Amino acid sequence: MAGRGSAASRCAATRQGTDRDTDENTMGATGSVHQTRENHMSVMSENSAEAPAIRPFSIEIPEAKMEALHARIAATHWPDKGTVADHSQGVQLATIQKLARYWVADHDWRKCEAKLNALPQFMTEIDGLDIHFIHVRSDHEDALPLIVTHGWPGSIIELLKIIDPLTNPTAHGGSSSDAFDLVIPSLPGFGFSGKPTTTGWDPPHIARAWTVLMKRLGYTRFVAQGGDWGAVITDVMATQAHPELLGMHSNMPGVIPPDVEKAIQSGGPPPSGLSDDEKRAWKQLNFVLTNGIGYAIMMGTRPQTLCGLADSPVGLAAFMIDHDAYSYEQIAHAFDGHPSGELTGDEILDNVTLYWLTDTAISSARLYWENKFSFFGVKNVSIPAAVSVFPGELYQTPRSWAERAYPNLIYFNELDRGGHFAAWEQPQLFSQEIRAAFRSLR
């Protein structure tokens, strides 16, 4: 997770994807507006006469575009097999070939498309850029508005399985008093949101845009949640003194003390006096920031050089699934026929296919270049904050660090399963955490 500077420590309603070759130039848009009476009424209720338009949105991928994708996968020029038996050199040839075979023979994008189109999706322009988002209102009274932000290489797809548990908690073992109105936006340059054509769409800009979005939807009080980039943006949002933001939750919090981060950057030993939990976190972070984020260093310094990701779907898939060792293992198992957790091969390919069809491999990468924040560092959050620690996350947050980073820590819990993509892998457990985290703020 690298930003533009120190690479080791910082980590339209209808849009047309960039055409990749002559055969695809006539395939049309990746999405098109489809207005229904139900969506129209919802939009009317959310839109004042003075506010910028909120437009219903649905997805209709031309079949020719799908055929071109499958042809490119079939024509992949494969590398040699690695010289080691494990994945220490990166994505293993056998794993990516299994993924590619499944992609062509068994994966059905239309199922994902139908699932997305069954949800209330919208577009609205903020600061000259179209922002795509899902907005599901709960049927329960006094539902708490919540904006959830995804990360890279994720998307709205990694959050789909938490929508019903959060908006309809009584159907999932929860109480009606735990209900949320849920807003899930696509980050700028990701999915169906617009692609920035100038610099400046960094985490603070996105955080401000999210507050504009929530207020535009009529919410005068709300909470925010995020992991990966969503964690950074949620942290930053919490520092911007928006009176509407009641509290935040992170499943990958920014809590590294400055002295610890400085020691990792220098390559020196850990600071003295660390507890056992802090020493464990030190070791994990030292590995992540020095050995485990090659993808982020590249995106944070030379995103445009990754043009091959816009040309090869298999190259894009390999780059995306090599995020961290725990997640890679989950993904490899999904294509071996031995999935652990609830992450399936179809869901993994839904996500990769979304990046491909919207041609957002490079536009999403530029967020790393834009970022100036320490990815895991303290952001000086003072509002009520909650933290859930999943065992497969890049590092396990010590409670002591969380208490220092978030002086108004209202909830802290360590889980026994789940990793970096916790909402994807363990949606019921993740949803329970969100309910518990914000219960005191209702």
Arithmetic mean of pLDDT, 226-249: 98
Arithmetic mean of pLDDT, 361-367: 98
CA distances for 366 relative to 94, 125, 154, 184, 348, angstroms: 30, 20, 15, 21, 22
314-326 confidence digits (pLDDT tens): 999 999 999 998 8
Higher-confidence residue of 312 and 330: namely 312
Contact 250, 261 (CB under 8 A): no
What is the b/e burial string over 341-378, where b = at least 16 CB atoms within 10 angstroms of the residue's CB?
bebebbbbbbbbbbbbbbbbbbbbbbbbbbbebbbbbb
Confidence class for position 379, pLDDT limits 50, 70, 90: very high
* Per-residue pLDDT at 229: 98
Sorted by where each starts, the structural domains of the chain and their CATH numbers stand as 22-441 (3.40.50.1820)
Rounded distance between C-alpha atoms, residue 233 and residue 244, angstroms: 16
* Per-residue pLDDT at 46: 45
Rounded distance between C-alpha atoms, residue 258 and residue 376, angstroms: 10
* Per-residue pLDDT at 135: 98
382-399 confidence digits (pLDDT tens): 999 999 999 999 999 999
Kindly list the catalytic residues: 228, 368, 420
38-76 confidence digits (pLDDT tens): 333 344 334 444 657 999 999 999 999 999 999 999 999
Confidence class for position 293, pLDDT limits 50, 70, 90: confident
How distant is the alpha carbon of residue 69 from its chain centre?
Answer: 23
Residue 222 has pLDDT above 70, yes or no: yes
Nearest CA to 17 out of 199, 229, 193 is that of 193
Tokens of 386: 């909650």
Confidence class for position 37, pLDDT limits 50, 70, 90: very low
Sheet holding 54-56, edge to edge: 54-56, 121-126, 129-136, 180-185, 144-149, 222-226, 245-250, 385-389, 409-414
269-290 confidence digits (pLDDT tens): 999 999 999 999 999 999 998 8
Confidence class for position 292, pLDDT limits 50, 70, 90: confident
Average pLDDT, the chain: 89
Q: Give me the residue label for tokens 């960094």.
A: 202
Indicate the pTM of the whole model. Answer: 0.89
Rounded distance between C-alpha atoms, residue 345 and residue 332, angstroms: 9
83-130 confidence digits (pLDDT tens): 999 999 999 999 999 999 999 999 999 999 999 999 999 999 999 999
Residue 98: how many other CB atoms lie within 10 Å: 17
